[in-house]
Each structure stands twice: as C-alpha cells, then as structure tokens.
C-alpha cells in the first residue's frame, strides 16, 4: 500500500536555527513528490516538485532534496514567518496512476523570534 510518513509531527525552532523535515515514502513507482505549505484556515500552497532521486530544488530559505526512499525539506536560518504546517505528498505510478496525491500527516513548524 502506498504510504507517506512525515517526521517530526511538530518542530519548534528559534529564529535563525536551521533544521530539516523528513518525508519517507513507500509507493509503487514514484511519479512525483510535492511539498506544500499550509497556514491555518488556508489551503495548501505549492512549494516544490521533485521527480527523481538526486534532484534538489531551492526557494529562499527552503531546499528540498529527494532520495529513493525519502525527501528532506531543509530550512536555513528560519524566520517567524516560516511558521506553518509543511505537507509532503506523492503521486504513485501503477494502478494508482491517476494523479491523486497521497499526503503525509504534515510537520507543524513554529519559529520563535
């Protein structure tokens, strides 16, 4: 069964304290891995897509990497405005090859000034 697991569930950082969020996945033929940011009361906001192991994407203080089993979202020198829930989702191949996203449980990040 296709599955996505994120860790930790919650993370508290001081402003400027870099860290990484983990997304482990088990899918039948990865078609794409997506990172989203979700603020309270809002829908997920797209951040990155990664397609193959070794791929990396960067945007401001965020950098996403991908291996054959997991993805990391690295946050460098975070600011309070980076506080949000970060969601990882995958698109699987095989019989699930219809584009639906399989989400992890998310990591709620709080950055204190």
Partner 1 sequence: GEEVAQTPKHLVRGEGQKAKLYCAPIKGHSYVFWYQQVLKNEFKFLISFQNENVFDETGMPKERFSAKCLPNSPCSLEIQATKLEDSAVYFCASSQGFLNQPQHFGDGTRLSIL
For residue 77, the minimal CB distance to partner 1 (Å) is: 26
Residues interacting with partner 1, by CB under 8 A? 31-32, 34, 36, 38, 41-46, 49, 51, 85, 87, 89, 91, 97-106
CA 106 and chain centroid, separation: 8
Structure tokens at 31: 């078609």
| Minimum CB distance to partner 1 smaller for 41 or for 54 | 41
User: What DSSP designation does 79 have?
Assistant: -
d(CA 72, CA 17): 16
| Minimum CB distance to partner 1 smaller for 53 or for 77 | 53
């Amino acid at each position: 069964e296709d599955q996505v697991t994120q860790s930790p569930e919650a993370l508290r950082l001081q402003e400027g304290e870099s860290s990484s969020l983990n997304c482990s996945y088990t899918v039948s033929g990865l078609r794409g891995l997506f990172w989203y940011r979700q603020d309270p009361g809002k829908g997920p906001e797209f951040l990155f897509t990664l397609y193959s192991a070794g791929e990396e994407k960067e945007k401001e203080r965020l950098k996403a990497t991908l291996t054959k089993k997991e993805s990391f979202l690295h946050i460098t020198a975070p600011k309070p405005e980076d506080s949000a829930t970060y969601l990882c989702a995958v698109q699987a191949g095989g019989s699930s090859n219809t584009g639906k996203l399989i989400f992890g449980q998310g990591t709620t990040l709080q950055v204190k000034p």
